[in-house]
């Protein structure tokens, strides 16, 4: 059993049933469908849950069709709704049944603030899935196998051909449905998030595209503001944080205790800036600002800690990698590792190299791997981490580009933590089938990639489908 598997089993044991089904009175009124009555309350608190219109599509059970004449649709719908509620406690499901396209149109007209549609085809030939997909809202088609298969296959293929924002699930594994719903939750969380960009440069079209495509504003913050927060950091707090980093490290190589304490004060400054901006993610133009004498310390250990804690800390003011990290952290619960890769075709390996990393690759509550505290590679100054990441694990490496609405992705299995003095301190080597094929996309995408532990290929495809992104599978 791999570390990844043990962690996922632990997550499953901690899941609880946290939500209940909610009806939509407007849709019920227009369709004449009975929903459970919910107690009314004036000015109810706003829910943070993703609101999903759960559409069951089938014709009358009196008609001969798949699954069969006289089929007990009501029992099946109750069963599926209960399973969805248990598997997706972060979602509020609004169930409704439609038997034709006209009823589907009425649901669309009645809906005001839903985040997406989950169309569960428990029967055949209603025409409703096509109507809902055409609405432009993020839509997930699900085939209840041996029940809605014909309509699912035709309508999903048609939706993809037309470029509609539709993901499809045709699987006997119910977790695949839950994974697709998680995508809707991820996109909702992006809309309520903020990215802090610490730089003197204009965020440019990437910053604008992040807000336009994902609804995530980018707040530009000056180095002067960070330096002020650094100067106000508690010396005692910085000593405590530095002491913890040193204690947890397998070894400290070059940096002095005083240098690590400066890094701790910088971490506290970043935390202060995030809190002030109500932000979940920060990227910093570290090299330019440091070499220009505008930052008092390297931020690398602080970014390491943010990533361990479930937030996003990204270097080099790389907004594209930052939004990739934020999106995937919401989707997977795991931090991303941004890197400058090296490709070794002789060994069919790609080596992910950087001086900012994480040692909690399976998430904040997962196991920690060993790390060393080193100086920064290029100038031999400051304090950074060399993380000795788990081996024998599948990884998914990618970049979302909100300007072009494209995502590039490859997968590899980790095989070594390279001990080499040249280049960045953390060097995670991973094996691919043919490294030569990895050499073709770097001019369009730049040097950076973001790596996540786990096989997230299908989930990334769901995100792409629901946002209208094109996927390029490199390697």
For the stretch 256-313, pLDDT in tens is 999 999 999 999 999 999 999 999 999 999 888 989 999 999 999 999 999 999 999 9
Determine if the peptide bond prior to 67 is cis (ω within 30°).
yes
Percentage of residues of the chain with pLDDT beyond 90:
85
The pLDDT > 70 percentage for the chain reads: 90
pLDDT of 47 reads 66
Q: Can you give 257-298 as a three-state secondary structure string?
A: HHHHHHHHHHHHHHHHHHHHCCCCEEEECHHHHHHCCCCCCC
Q: Count CB atoms within 10 A of the CB of residue 145.
A: 13
Between 42 and 447, the more confident residue is 447
**Averaged pLDDT, 307-330:** 96
pLDDT at site 40: 28
Residue 21 reports pLDDT greater than 50: no
pLDDT in the model for residue 113: 86
Task: State residue 213's pLDDT score.
Answer: 96
- Residue range 424-444, pLDDT digits in tens: 899 999 999 999 999 999 999
Is the pLDDT at 399 greater than 60, yes or no? Answer: yes
Write out pLDDT tens, residues 245-262: 999 999 999 999 999 999
The alpha carbon of 71 is separated from its chain's Cα centroid by a whole number of angstroms, namely 39
Summarised one tens digit per residue, pLDDT across range 104-137 is 999 999 998 899 999 999 999 999 999 999 999 9
How large is the average pLDDT for residues 191-220?
95
What's the predicted TM-score (pTM) here? Answer: 0.88
Domains of the chain: 16-38+48-190 (3.40.50.2300), 193-473 (3.20.14)
Average pLDDT score over residue span 362-368: 96
pLDDT at 45: 33
Asked if residue 18 has pLDDT above 60, the reply is: no
């Amino acid at each position: 059993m791999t570390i990844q598997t043990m962690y996922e089993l632990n997550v499953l044991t901690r899941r609880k049933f946290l939500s209940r089904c909610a009806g939509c009175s407007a849709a019920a009124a227009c369709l004449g469908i009975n929903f459970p009555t919910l107690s009314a309350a004036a000015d109810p608190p706003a829910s943070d849950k993703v609101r999903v219109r759960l559409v069951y599509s089938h014709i009358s059970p009196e008609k001969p069709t798949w699954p069969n004449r006289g089929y007990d649709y009501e029992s099946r719908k109750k069963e599926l709704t209960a399973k969805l509620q248990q598997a997706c406690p972060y979602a509020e499901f609004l169930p409704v049944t439609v038997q034709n396209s006209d009823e589907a149109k009425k649901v669309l007209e009645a809906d005001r603030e839903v985040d997406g549609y989950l169309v569960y085809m428990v029967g055949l030939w209603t025409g409703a899935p096509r109507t809902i997909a055409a609405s432009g809202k993020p839509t997930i088609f699900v085939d209840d196998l041996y029940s809605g298969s014909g309509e699912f296959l035709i309508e999903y293929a048609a939706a993809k051909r037309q470029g509609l924002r539709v993901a499809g699930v045709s699987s006997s594994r119910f977790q695949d449905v839950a994974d697709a719903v998680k995508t809707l939750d991820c996109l909702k969380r992006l809309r309520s998030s903020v990215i802090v960009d610490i730089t003197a440069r204009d965020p440019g079209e990437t910053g604008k595209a992040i807000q336009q495509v994902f609804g995530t504003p980018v707040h530009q913050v000056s180095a002067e503001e960070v330096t002020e927060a650094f100067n106000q950091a508690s010396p005692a707090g910085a000593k405590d944080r530095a002491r913890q980093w040193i204690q947890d490290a397998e070894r400290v190589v070059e940096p002095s205790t005083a240098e690590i304490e400066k890094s701790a004060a910088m971490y506290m400054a970043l935390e202060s800036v995030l809190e002030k901006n109500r932000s979940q993610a920060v990227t910093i133009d570290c090299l330019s600002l440091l070499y220009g004498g505008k930052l008092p310390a390297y931020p690398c250990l602080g970014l390491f800690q943010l990533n361990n804690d479930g937030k996003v800390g990204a270097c080099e003011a790389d907004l594209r990698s930052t939004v990739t990290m934020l999106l995937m952290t919401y989707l997977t619960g795991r931090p991303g590792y941004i890197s400058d890769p090296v490709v070794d075709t002789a060994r069919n390996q790609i080596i992910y190299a950087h001086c900012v990393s994480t040692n909690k690759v399976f998430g904040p509550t997962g196991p920690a791997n060993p790390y060393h505290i080193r100086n920064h590679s290029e100038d031999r100054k400051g304090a950074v981490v060399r993380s000795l990441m788990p081996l024998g694990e599948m990884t998914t490496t990618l970049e979302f580009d909100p300007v072009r609405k494209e995502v590039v992705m490859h997968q590899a299995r980790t095989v070594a933590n390279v001990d080499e003095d040249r280049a960045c301190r953390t060097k995670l080597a991973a094996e691919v089938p043919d490294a030569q094929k990895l050499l073709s996309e770097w001019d369009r995408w730049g040097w950076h990639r973001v790596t996540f532990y786990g096989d997230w290929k299908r989930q990334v495809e769901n995100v792409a489908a629901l946002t209208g992104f094109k996927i390029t599978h490199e390697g």
